[in-house]
Amino acid sequence: MRWGAALWVGGLVGVLVTACGSAALPRATGPDSTGPTVRVLLAGDVMLGRGVARQTAADPAAALVGVGDQVRASDLAIANLESALTRRAHEPASGPQTLEADPASAALLARAGFDALAIANNHAGDAGPDTVTDTVAALDAAGLVTVGGGAGETSAFGARVVDVRGVRVALLAVDTTGRGPRPTATRPGVAWWDEDRVRASVADARARADVVLVGLHGGVEYATAADPYLTRLADQLARWGVDVVWGHGPHVVQPVTTIDPDGDGRRTVVATSLGNLVFDQHLPDTRRGAVLEVLVGRDGVRALRLGDTTIDAGRASFSAWRDPAPLAEAALLGGAWWQLVASTSPAPAVRPDGTTLARLEKQVAPGVLLASSIGDVDGDGAAEVVAAFRRPYRRTAVSTLVPRERLVDRHGRSAHVGVYRLADLSQRWVAGTVIHPVAALATCDGSLAVALSTLEDPSTAVAVGAWRWGGFGFVTYPELTGAGTPACADVDRDGSLDPLVRERTTP
């Protein structure tokens, strides 16, 4: 069962409840609120030559403009560049597929918001090994970082460490197909899967960075199940200390998982294939891709989200961010749901004491109080009490627009949420009627985490959600199906408590 945004019916009136006048607000303190976090976006295969170049000849920027908002919104964005940037003639020995693109395409990648491109793949040397240096030069001229390739073996296997607002992120990329040009000390090429070399590169990256990301190119093409070979390599990389393994090459999207093979509590995100971001292939699954965004800090990956993309006539478009996995803990960050990866301790919940609770029950009388919580729900720096309650239904001009059976339970009561000032329990705001009743809630900074019930069973949650204070009433976000426990935590470490849903159950 999936619901849209909660609907207020019957007018918006204020209600704010407090416990006792000296109640302490929950605060973003402890290990979860120390150190910065940054958002890293990872995409799959980007190919700007062949059919894409023909389809976008009149407007080359159109190839990526449909995903630009999402790419630019991240702090660091990376994709796999499947087309070498060169004007050299394609070498027949490289095979019949000509994927090279104009070196000017590098500017399109920069304009779309990318910061770095992996080039360790089987098409990196389609016009010969010197194609690699052409690509590196084009990317460098556009201000983009090249990962996984260079003028020699040292640069191909070397990690690129980027400092993003105080978080050092190391980037590595490896070709596992065995068909990319192999570098020597003096010949250009791309990194390939050699266990000893890759392990040494990861160890160096781990010593120099807070977070380590490794791109793997390869796997069975067009298989939508997680690639077993790349999964095995990801397990090795996780044991060596890699935080994100980001795969590309199968040209279709495969599942994203998190693993902790060494049991150290620091989970590794594994995406064996994010499919095509932009390409000219025509099988249905090759025209769909995914972007993976991870929220990282100095202690690793804290949260992730996955977004869907589509390709039409050589143009990539963003569709939507997916909901977190059904049983995963989730947090609302920046107006969107993220799936938690790291263990996150919620802020201590503050509930009304006995005296305040008794006063609150009188305030909502003749209604029945179901749940209450204390916090700075309107973001003004002072504590409020938020209460969920049922009271005898009152017909209003607005409520007549909704069928009575959607608003009134078998006891003739409708559901409401109110916000009250803590000091004197005076009403700040109250919802006329809530179509999706609140069974439990946690008051965060300027927001609520809620568990929602049905009208007929107020004690059983069937969905969870988050509401943000909008100045007079709440802005609601899409609910997630299944029960869960509302809580608050500073997941993104900005000093403000975010809505959190823990202990989720199957819908």
pTM over 0.85: yes
Q: What is the pLDDT of residue 72?
A: 98
Q: From CA 467, how far away is CA 460, in angstroms rounded?
A: 19
The string of pLDDT tens digits covering residues 75-109 is 999 999 999 999 998 788 777 788 999 999 999 99
Question: Can you name the residues that pair with 430 across neighbouring β-strands?
Answer: 13, 418
Per-residue CA distances from 303 to 76, 243, 275, 328 (Å): 15, 12, 21, 11
- Single out the residue of 128, 150, 125, 127 nearest to residue 137, CA to CA: 150
Cβ neighbourhood burial of 346 (10 Å; 0-12, 13-18, 19+): buried
Cβ neighbourhood burial of 366 (10 Å; 0-12, 13-18, 19+): exposed
CB atoms within 10 A of CB 285: 16
Burial 316-342 (b: 16+ CB within 10 A, else e): bebeebebbbeebbbbbbeeebbbbbb
What is the secondary structure of 407-422 as a DSSP string? T--TTSEEEEEEEEET
Is residue 33 pLDDT above 50, yes or no? no
Phi/psi for 140 (5° steps) reads -60, -40
Lowest mean pLDDT among 173-177, 198-202, 266-270, 458-462: 458-462
Q: What is the pLDDT of residue 121?
A: 97
| Prior bond of 348 cis (ω within 30°) | no
Helix (H, G, I), strand (E, B) or coil at 257: strand
Q: From CA 21, how far away is CA 208, in angstroms rounded?
A: 49
> What is the average pLDDT across 285-294?
98
Question: Can you name the residues that pair with 440 across neighbouring β-strands?
Answer: 451
The string of pLDDT tens digits covering residues 115-168 is 999 999 999 999 899 999 999 999 999 999 999 999 999 999 999 999 999 999
Report whether 175 contacts 120 (CB < 8 A): yes
Confidence band for 237, pLDDT divided at 50, 70 and 90: very high
Average per-residue pLDDT in the chain?
Answer: 92
Which residues make Cβ contacts (< 8 Å) with residue 282, sequence separation at least 6? none
Confidence band for 459, pLDDT divided at 50, 70 and 90: confident
CATH architecture assignment, domain 33-340:
4-Layer Sandwich (3.60)
% of the chain residues with pLDDT over 90: 85
Burial 208-235 (b: 16+ CB within 10 A, else e): ebbbbbbbbbbbbeebeebbeebbebbb
Lowest mean pLDDT among 17-21, 253-257, 416-420: 17-21
The domains of the chain are located at 12-30+346-502, 33-340
Q: From CA 328, how far away is CA 325, in angstroms rounded?
A: 5
Q: From CA 215, how far away is CA 141, in angstroms rounded?
A: 23
Name which residue leads in pLDDT, 26 or 479. 479
What is the secondary structure of 226-240 as a DSSP string? PPHHHHHHHHHHHHH
The string of pLDDT tens digits covering residues 174-217 is 999 999 999 999 999 999 999 999 999 999 999 999 999 999 99
Q: What is the pLDDT of residue 249?
A: 96
Here the tokens at position 197 are 């070399």
The string of pLDDT tens digits covering residues 369-425 is 999 999 999 999 999 999 999 999 988 877 788 888 889 999 999 999 999 999 999
Is residue 11 pLDDT above 70, yes or no? no
The string of pLDDT tens digits covering residues 111-128 is 999 999 999 999 999 989
